[in-house]
Structure 1
Amino acid sequence: MIKSINPTVKAMKPSGIRKFFDLANTMKGVISLGVGEPDFDTPWHICENAIHSMSVGKTHYTANRGLLELRQAICQFHAIRYHQNYDSEHETLVTVGGSEAIDLAMRTLVEPGDEVIVLDPNYVAYAPTIELAGGIPVPIVLKEETEFKLLPGELKAAITPKTKAMIINYPSNPTGGVMTKEDYEKLVPIIKESGIYVVSDEIYAELSFDQEFASLAQFDEVRDQIIVVNGFSKAFAMTGWRLGYALANRDVSDAMTKIHQYVIMSAPTQAQYAAIEAMTHGLDDVIRMRNDYLNRRNLLVNRLNRMGLDTNMPHGTFYVFPNIQKTGMTCEEFCEKLLEKEKVACVPGNAFGEHGEGFIRISYAYSIDHLKEACDRIEHFLQNLD
């Protein structure tokens, strides 16, 4: 008799993001605003560094933690840009995307039955990663009227003796919400007193539009309780290179590296050489792309609000999270009918948690022309609702 599949895996739902993206791929003439991937190609000078590394025979494994030159570049970048200080030799680990770093953090920290706080709505991979490590996701509901920020009273109420960690993501996928340094200052005493770890997914740090990026890792009082996750996919348009990293205190970083060395060995060598170039000479590319995203954001938010879909101004990422409750449809009904009638693909808000119901996520990592056409179709859809 064939043994059964792990029940945790069996019960896991497929990603709600991929569901609508895959459906859109079967139809002609669809404008897909679903997947969070930059429409820019990786800047050529970054690609050239990877090509050069292959041409001179650098095609072998690197150290488990990644190339020291890359780790040094990462730490220097974080010190200058984000006022975060980490040691390149003992507190930095290069991973296969930020997703691996989050998985490693959960497997390092979580024991069966531990509670891990997640924000709802938030990125689709967090809860499954917690569950695979034997933990229990505990949601904190974020509210539109407070711009989807994490408030101190809500955090304090969610922490129990079983709470081991929390995963946060600011700037936020899917809401575009951000936290300021002043917002974090109110959380620091709670985090310090509780002793919980915080996995801070900062993959959109460079896509902060209206204010300087802030992080809990900037506060010395809780610095050793914070695991910073970041990578190259979003800011540098390097999604296919699959490269990320984790910054954490030495004990946690050593433990994460032990898991990494058994399941991965080391991140792809050519991607690491590309990332060195990105970290050292790629900031101008980031600024250029961010300015384009800012123009797209302004266009999209203005159009959506004018057509009657109440939309908060997102202060980071390349997503908007319009409220569709006035239509009387669930978010899945809205997305299904919009795709069927107007051939525009968006993601239902409930793909990001139960309290994403009533919203949809639209990515503006697409050209202005595509966004204008998509807005015309969405407006036509709203004007012709039954």
Structure 2
Amino acid sequence: MQTTIISKLPTVGTTIFTVMSQLAAQHNAVNLGQGFPDFPMHETLTGLVNKAMQDGYNQYTHMNGYPLLREQLALKTARLYGTSINPDTDITITPGGTYAIYTSLTTVLQPGDEVIVFEPAYDSYIPNIEINGAKAIRIQLTYPSYSIPWDEVRKKINMHTRMIMINSPHNPTGAVLSAADMQELSAIVEGTNIIILSDEVYEHLIFDGLQHESILRYPELLKRSFVCFSFGKTYHCTGWKLGYCISSAELMHEFRKVHQFNCFSCDTPKQVALAEYLKDVAAYTTLGANIQAKRDYFRSKMADTPFKCIPSHGSYFECYSYADISDEPDTVFAQRLTIDYGVATIPVSAFYQDRKDDKVVRFCFAKKETTLDMAIEKLKLL
């Protein structure tokens, strides 16, 4: 008799990032799809990892994360956001930001709970909700600004609403939440038992003089929030898969119950290196300007193509409309762009459960100028 299982994610296939990256490799295309830099991370940080290994930091560290790293993150939070957090009770180091998001959801959700999710949404959100037996309540961001329709959020709140997920700077669009957005969120959850999950992995990749409106700026919101971050996005080392979660002591206590039986602890030498590297404040405070320069370079070059820019204010990404180029579905257009023109992108419909198609594709501009130049020359042929 053949062994069978009942899939917990029966409608889920291979992620669009894997599909497009494989297609790019197959056709030797310039890959502006998946969000990873093709330029090297800072040699000081790699040197610190090597030193940590040579110094013997190769065994398990504390389950909650290397203590000196958590202390540096608490100092950073106070410096940037004016909020005091306890490194012993409020921070846990995780194997990546996506893991922190999954663990936050698993900590809270029970079958029948509802989670408000804004689309387009990072593709792990809804599967992670559903695998915990909860239901995603999808609300579409307002196109083309990709702003939150707060009146619609109010209409969706009910006795089953357990969590609201926010993401700023936003993946895939680069939209950024404002102080007014945070005031709306505060008003909606006040007096409720609703938890907030804030995906802030691009916290330092914010442009145009805007301020990152982190949950960490709002102590009353932090009491009911899990806030998830990524070292990979900050220090251009996405392959390290290291991140962290900050929450109130009460919520973090429950988070760690799940964490200890899943990951237990994370890569020790990299944590030791990061604890030292975080002392260089300029390494993360200047990051936004450096990555904005790449966005501006890419945007200026894209002006010579038939694509229409939908401005990004953060992240590694900028979206562009191709409505004036083709009526094709965005998945078909993205595949044709890869196969016939040698540039891989991500179709934005992949970030909607119902595959809403506004004729928009997402480009990753966190690349060397030579890479961007090569892509632009191909795109000019459209």
Q: Normalized against structure 1, the TM-score is what?
A: 0.93
Alignment partner of 2:261: what SS? Answer: helix
Give the CA RMSD over aligned residues.
1.8
Gaps in structure 2 of 5+ consecutive residues: none
- Give the drift of 1:87: 1.1
Equivalent in the alignment of 1:384:
none
Verify the 8 A CA contact 2:204 2:287 in the aligned structure 1. no
Residue 75 of structure 2: aligned partner: 76
SS at 1:5's partner residue? coil
Equivalence map 1:171-250=2 (5 Å): 171-210=169-208, 211-250=210-249
Task: Tell me which amino acid in the other structure corresponds to 1:331.
Answer: D
Mean Cα displacement is larger for which, 108-117 or 185-194?
185-194
1:368 paired to 2:369: yes
Cα separation, 1, equivalents of 2:98 and 2:171:
14
Q: Which amino acid aligns with 2:378?
A: R
Report the Cα offset of residue 341 of structure 1. Answer: 1.2
* Cα distance between partner residues in 1 of 2:367 and 2:221: 38
The structure in which a higher percent of residues are helix is 1
Q: Decide which moves more: 318-327 or 305-314.
A: 305-314
Task: Provide the secondary structure at the position in 2 that maps to 1:164.
Answer: strand
1:64: how far off? 0.8
Q: CA deviation at 1:280?
A: 1.6
Q: Match of 1:134, as an amino acid?
A: G
Instruction: State the partner residue of 1:266.
Output: 265
Count of aligned positions = 378
Structure 1 residues 356 and 101, CA, compared in 2 at 3 Å: closer, same or farther? farther
* Secondary structure of 2:380 counterpart: helix
Q: Would you say 1:291 and 2:292 are equivalent positions?
A: no
Question: Matched residues in 2 for 1:2 and 1:10: separation?
Answer: 19
Which amino acid counterpart does residue 71 of structure 1 have in structure 2? R
Counterpart code for 2:240: W
Counterpart check, 1:325 vs 2:332: no
Q: How far apart are 1:185 and its partner, in Å? A: 1.4
Distance 1:305 1:118 in 2: 33
Q: Using the alignment, how far apart are the partners of 2:339 and 2:60 within structure 1?
A: 48
Instruction: Kindly state the Cα deviation for residue 7 of structure 1 after the two structures are TM-superposed.
Output: 1.8
Q: Which amino acid in structure 2 is aligned with residue 38 of structure 1?
A: P
Q: 1:103-142 counterparts in 2 under 5 A?
A: 103-142=102-141
Q: Kindly report which structure 2 residues correspond to 1:93-108, keeping only aligned pairs within 5 A, or say none.
A: 93-108=92-107
Identify the residue that residue 356 of structure 2 maps to in structure 1: 355
Q: Which runs of 5+ in 1 are unaligned?
A: 382-386
CA-CA distance at 1:371 after TM superposition? 1.4
3-state SS of paired residue (1:311): strand
d(CA) in 1 for partners of 2:192, 2:44: 46
Per-residue CA deviation, residues 188-220 of structure 1 (Å, 9 max, x unaligned), is 110223331111011100001121111233223
Match of 1:34 in 2: 33
Aligned to 1:9: 9
Alpha-carbon distance in 2 for matches of 1:155, 1:305: 36
Contact map agreement 1:46 1:274 (CA 8 A) in 2: yes
Match of 2:309 among 297, 308, 311: 311
Equivalent position of 1:25 in the other structure? 25
For residue 291 of structure 1, give the secondary structure of its aligned residue in structure 2.
Answer: helix
The worse-fitting range, judged by mean Cα deviation, of 359-368 and 47-56 is: 47-56
Percent identical among aligned pairs is 25
Go from structure 1 to structure 2 and tell me whether the alpha carbon gap of 1:126 and 1:84 turns closer, same or farther (over 3 Å shift).
farther
Structure 1: distance between partners of 2:72 and 2:60:
19
Tell me the equivalent position of 1:336: 335
**CA contact under 8 A between 1:348 and 1:357: conserved in structure 2?**
no
Q: TM-score, normalised by structure 2?
A: 0.94
Aligned-partner residue type, residue 106 of structure 2: R
Q: How far apart, in 2, do the equivalents of 1:151 and 1:143 lie? A: 7
CA distance in 1, matches of 2:284, 2:351: 27
In structure 2, the CA distance between the partners of 1:307 and 1:152, relative to structure 1 (3 Å rule), is same
Cα 1:237–1:278, aligned 2, differ >3 Å: closer, same or farther?
A: farther
CA distance in 2, matches of 1:217, 1:77: 11
Q: 1:222 to 1:293 in 2, by over 3 A?
A: closer
CA distance in 1, matches of 2:320, 2:89: 43
Aligned to 1:156: 154
CA contact under 8 A between 1:330 and 1:358: conserved in structure 2?
yes
For the residue of structure 1 that corresponds to 2:88, the secondary structure is coil
Q: Does 202-211 or 159-168 show the bigger shift?
A: 159-168
In the aligned structure 1, how far is the partner of 2:182 from the partner of 2:323? 31
- Structure 1 counterpart of 2:125, which letter? Y
User: Aligned equivalents of 1:172 and 1:42: distance in 2?
Assistant: 23
1:45 and 1:277 in contact (8 A); partners too:
no
| Inter-partner Cα distance in structure 2 for 1:311 and 1:157 | 32
Alpha carbons of structure 1 residues 368 and 166: separation in structure 2 relative to 1, 3 Å: same
Any conservation in 1 of the 2:77–2:216 contact (CA below 8 Å)?
no
Cα displacement (A) at 1:149: 2.0
Look up the equivalent residue of 2:296 and give its one-letter code.
N
Structure 1 residues 11 and 312: alpha-carbon distance in aligned structure 2, compared to 1, 3 A threshold: closer
1:131-184 deviation per Cα after TM superposition (whole angstroms, max 9, x unaligned): 111111111101234x21223213212222211112211001100000122321
Deviation of 1:357 after TM superposition, in Å, equals 4.5
What is the alpha-carbon distance in structure 2 between the residues aligned to residue 265 and residue 21 of structure 1? 31
Q: Is the 8 A contact 2:168 2:177 kept in 1?
A: yes
How has the CA–CA distance of structure 1 residues 254 and 3 changed in structure 2, closer, same or farther, with 3 Å as cutoff? farther
Residue identity matched to 1:361: R
